[in-house]
Structure 1
Amino acid sequence: MPRPTTPLLTRPGIRTSALSIIDRAGLDGLSMRKLAADLGVSAPALYNHYPTKEHLLDDVASEIMERVDVSAFAHGWREGLLTWARSYRAALAEHPNIVPFLARGPSRRDASLRRADTVHGGLVAAGWPPRDATMIGASTKYLVLGAAMGSFSRGFVDDVQVYVDRYPALNDAHRLREHADAVDRDSFDFALTMFVDGLAARLAQR
């Protein structure tokens, strides 16, 4: 059979290319025209699969959210919260440029809503009042999104002279960039553990 004159499009292939553009150029760098050029097709060909850029971003976001693990809520709210937050951060850390889109909320995305349902249900089943469960879920999300959107350690420069003369308490700050991945990961885990330990103490007082 003769080879097709244009590449065959699939929704997974379109999502992969779209996410690649977002990783390189950010959300504003993605357009249906640029995506079509990357795929070697005309822009109208994409609309047979995704009628709008928003529909495409929803599917890309859903694909990322499928990597977030909420299964540990079956073993208790504390383990569930820790596993959810760590896997959530890990999924977003691979694609930080899409975090602002995900930060808008789950909208109608099934992957996000299923996870929200599991988190909220797991917390309520463990004895948290629904209002508290909502605030715990929101607070955890704030922690995850904040960690995914920026690096504390990479905000410092590696020149010791910037700090040593005027900011003596920051005399080791120039080393932060060198160990940024470990510092950022461990700082997130420290904050998460303190948060969950505090919640456990509060629940025990009820």
Structure 2
Amino acid sequence: MTTERRAPLDRKRVADAALKLLNEVGLEGLSLRAIAKELDVKAPALYWHFKDKQALLDEMATEMYRRMIAGAALDPDDTWQERLFKANRGLRAALLGYRDGAKVFSGSRFTGMEHAEQMEDNLRLFTAAGFTLARAVRATSTTYLYTLGFVTEEQGVVPLPGERREGYDVNERARLMADFPLSAQAGAEIFADYDRHFEEGLTLVITGIEARYRPE
């Protein structure tokens, strides 16, 4: 008979188990029942902490954010452009660490206030650079949405580093679309070299913000 005591079941332990399981089964295969099995508890025990799957996804997204910002102090000497590049590169890297990471993050509501400190610092930086508050919000949210959308599409092809979904072979796609030569060649610009394409797209967005708003 074992005398080993398990850690008490709390929201963080459930979220940690869910994130671990996410990489194995993806968002579609993630269920409260599967998480309960992973934790070796009965499914009703989870409902004490989360009323439904969306509540759990909210906590998972919050834990992903906590891990993302842990030890990553903001640089007070950043320009607003540098802050946008750093924030969105960091977000992409964090989301790519989880199968369907972007889908989990998208539309989820943070359950804590950890994000408020960074948000306040970012808005202070932007308004000091000459943005109105409304334009500061638009600039930060637009780059955020670009990154979230980019990673969602990227993970549709490459669920995790080293994996590639069937049907996304660029050469095979080009062969099948031989009657549409430009579209065939475009495959390499859509379904490959994601690092470079992300950087190019992010630069386009930030350059557009600067050209449109021209903050003093």
TM-score bin, normalised by smaller chain:
0.7 to 0.9
Per the alignment, residue 147 of structure 1 pairs with 150
Per the alignment, residue 36 of structure 2 pairs with 36
Distance 1:202 1:3 in 2: 65
Displacement of 1:150 in angstroms is: 0.9
Per the alignment, residue 138 of structure 2 pairs with 135
Residues 200 and 173 of structure 1: is their aligned pair in 2 closer, same or farther, counting only changes over 3 Å? closer
Is the CA contact (8 Å cut-off) linking 2:32 and 2:46 kept in structure 1?
Answer: yes
Q: How many residues align?
A: 200
Distance 2:26 2:175 in 1: 33
AA in 1 matched with 2:153: G
**TM-score normalised to structure 1 length:** 0.77
CA RMSD of aligned residues (A): 3.2
Q: Does 1:167 align with 2:180?
A: yes
Distance 1:153 1:73 in 2: 36
Mean Cα deviation higher: 120-129 or 6-15:
6-15
Is the CA contact (8 Å cut-off) linking 1:21 and 1:30 kept in structure 2?
Answer: yes
- Structure 1 or 2: larger helix share? 1
Per the alignment, residue 158 of structure 1 pairs with 171
Return the structure number with greater relative CO, CA threshold 8 A, min gap 6: 2
Per the alignment, residue 87 of structure 1 pairs with 90
Tell me the secondary structure at the aligned position of residue 81 of structure 1: helix
Q: Does 1:52 align with 2:62?
A: no
**Could you report, residue by residue, the CA deviation over 1:138-158 in whole angstroms, capped at 9, with x for unpaired residues?**
211111111110129945543
Per the alignment, residue 103 of structure 2 pairs with 100
Mean Cα deviation higher: 186-195 or 39-48:
39-48
Residues 3 and 46 of structure 1: is their aligned pair in 2 closer, same or farther, counting only changes over 3 Å? farther
Displacement of 1:83 in angstroms is: 0.3
**TM-score normalised to structure 2 length:** 0.74
Is the CA contact (8 Å cut-off) linking 1:70 and 1:84 kept in structure 2?
Answer: no
Q: Does 1:195 align with 2:194?
A: no
Distance 2:73 2:139 in 1: 15
Tell me the secondary structure at the aligned position of residue 8 of structure 1: coil
Identity rate, percent: 23
Displacement of 1:175 in angstroms is: 5.5
Is the CA contact (8 Å cut-off) linking 2:127 and 2:133 kept in structure 1?
Answer: yes
